[in-house]
Structure 1
């Protein structure tokens, strides 16, 4: 068994948390080809992303309470099994409707990784050290969205888009074996909660009455939705509008992910000295400024690939700062219902992202305009969430 605080446990949890990004980012270069192969439209193909996040949202409401009752490990293993078998189903899909069904089921399994990964970090490292560890996991798992589109583009060239989902199934089965054999249960017996509707609703009511929990959750949800705008539309914008080759799309995406890594590294190195709340504000400002700067050329019909990528990199710096700090801040006061707190955060984050993704897909007009304006709005809402719910002049920053 791995020691709970060992780097091996952190790596395993990072791999579990990365199930979401892998499931979305790896097939991004294939979206235009899948649109043709499955004889469907751009908005229908983009809907496979939003359907995934809808399933991601629904399942999160159950994962946390179940994990608070039965422990993290059995629930995580069940999720990994669902994810792996559904990935095989995605590879076998012959219509976009079948793909949507399997993507929904795939999401039901995949969301266990992020929910329980965050929860286990809170279990093992406590409220004070959770945010830096989440930032470290964010840095490690950033390899997933950096490598996934490049690897996915290669699989398209060497095989076809079905190979992407078969690889995801293989990854899920391997992770299930490592997690089952090597990772220890992190939930203490005294923290186990009965699983019934009254207990669950009482916990959710307690969370929704907590002003700071709402502030952290909204900040995390809006900044992630800005990232999701880029995920859902970037392949069409870069490949169809700017003429980027499918096999080169992943390189641009990897460059964008570098911004996220920079943000998480800043959290690890400076959050203790600057103060977590003050640094969160700086990350929100970065996201808002980058989003506005990205949208201006689109509004003027002066889009350039270099400027769009540069501003998305800067936006991702903000994402890398805001997400680990807001996750750590949201879970910090709730050691007794950490799983439920993580579930509600993930649910609201996924609902927000899925809703924005559907709107972007429906309004997409074959130019970067819809994507860049949506990203700028999400950056502004992130900053407003901080100012309304978390900004207190009389409260210490650290």
Structure 2
């Protein structure tokens, strides 16, 4: 009697084009959950009569739950496969989005946003792990770059759509649109996505194996190099996301629609960075590509910070330098996210989860600092300095990671499997 077939479907049934589409939709849930509601953030804060610190919690609570939840979703996906985790996570994301739109208080909204973040963790974690399931490290960076180009297109549409819907229909409409995007993604995944884990790991949820895997991953120099690079780059983006709506709308006097258009141009620069990434990878390899991006991060962050310290407080003094940072972000993220999981073909879910946790805990800490720094902001009041100094800091850190850690450890071989995972 022959052995039963593997529960994993043949991933070859998915065309490369569909894989890129799936990556774009799954990764794109993150900017949809953040960028689309940002133009409405000042309005919903006023509508609930809430403090600035509470408004920041609608973003930071989502991101903290997003990061922590991946530590659960990662091992679950290594054990049971990516597809069931995606279906559960996407279903919960849609439900939480509807709950957010119907919230009666800021406390309820923060709770629904935290649940939304936990569900979001399943989608983004699985997307990073799928790349490692299907592709070797070098090819994985190029496919991740293509998926992140799609994320950039989605982000381009998110902020303008959020600003327009908030202006015409109110801030609840912006929150409801997040659920519409999640429902479309859920339908496409349920219809066409095939399992990419060929051999699920039956030991992935055993406590001893979990602890061994976490330690093995955290100690690997390649993981640390790329995870810290991706974290520093995302730290700069999150600083912009958390502070920019208040800086541009309340300090610099833009309308919500104008702010949405500014966000649109930022997404275009990010898309340009992902396209540049693919070309540089072919010519320079991963480590030299990341080094070039480190120079762009440093130039953008330092220019923004120095202009602000010199007293130049205008839209263009913030926007133009941040274009450089976003081009670099379009290079750092595909290289960092794929590089962090590359040494762990048998534990891609766990590695993806740990990298995501580091990024989101960092974002939560940055959001808490920004909420405190900007607590006194009101219409026509405040300063650009919390925004510009934060991005300056992350630009310097990106360059240091690129020129030291990635340069030394960026091409390390795959980590050996722990003894426990090879037991029959």
TM-score (ref. length: structure 1): 0.96
Confirm or deny: 8 A CA contact 2:75 2:349 kept in the other structure.
Answer: yes
2:273 aligned with 1:263: yes
Counting only pairs closer than 5 Å after superposition, residues 84-233 of structure 1 correspond to structure 2 as 84-189=94-199, 191=201, 193-233=203-243
1: CA distance, partners of 2:409 / 2:52: 47
2:285 aligned with 1:275: yes
Q: In 2 relative to 1, CA 2–12 (structure 1 residues): closer, same or farther, beyond 3 Å?
A: farther
Deviations 1:117-176 (A, max 9, x none): 111111112222100000001111101221101111111122111112222222222221
Structure 1 position 385, deviation (Å): 2.2
2: CA distance, partners of 1:381 / 1:182: 40
Deviations 1:269-292 (A, max 9, x none): 221211111111111221122101
Counting only pairs closer than 5 Å after superposition, residues 247-326 of structure 1 correspond to structure 2 as 247-326=257-336
Structure 1 position 192, deviation (Å): 5.3
Larger radius of gyration: 2
Structure 1 position 394, deviation (Å): 12
Superposition RMSD on alpha carbons, in Å? 1.8
Confirm or deny: 8 A CA contact 1:32 1:236 kept in the other structure.
Answer: yes
Q: In 2 relative to 1, CA 378–187 (structure 1 residues): closer, same or farther, beyond 3 Å?
A: same
Structure 1 position 20, deviation (Å): 1.0
Between 256-265 and 22-31, report the one with greater CA deviation. Answer: 256-265
**Paired position in structure 2 for 1:378:** 394
Structure 1 position 384, deviation (Å): 1.8
**Paired position in structure 1 for 2:67:** 57
2:32 aligned with 1:16: no
Q: In 2 relative to 1, CA 181–394 (structure 1 residues): closer, same or farther, beyond 3 Å?
A: closer
**Paired position in structure 2 for 1:354:** 364
Q: In 2 relative to 1, CA 321–88 (structure 1 residues): closer, same or farther, beyond 3 Å?
A: same
Gaps of 5+ in 1: none
2:40 aligned with 1:30: yes
1: CA distance, partners of 2:94 / 2:409: 48
2:263 aligns to what SS in structure 1?
A: helix
**Paired position in structure 1 for 2:384:** 368
1: CA distance, partners of 2:391 / 2:281: 25
Structure 1 position 393, deviation (Å): 10
Gaps of 5+ in 2: 1-10, 413-424
**Paired position in structure 1 for 2:403:** 387
Structure 1 position 115, deviation (Å): 0.7
1: CA distance, partners of 2:411 / 2:94: 46
1:151 aligns to what SS in structure 2?
A: helix
Deviations 1:12-55 (A, max 9, x none): 22101111110000001001111110101222211211111110
TM-score (ref. length: structure 2): 0.90
Q: How many residue pairs were aligned? A: 396
2:408 aligns to what SS in structure 1?
A: coil
Confirm or deny: 8 A CA contact 1:11 1:140 kept in the other structure.
Answer: yes
1: CA distance, partners of 2:410 / 2:391: 32
Confirm or deny: 8 A CA contact 1:138 1:324 kept in the other structure.
Answer: yes
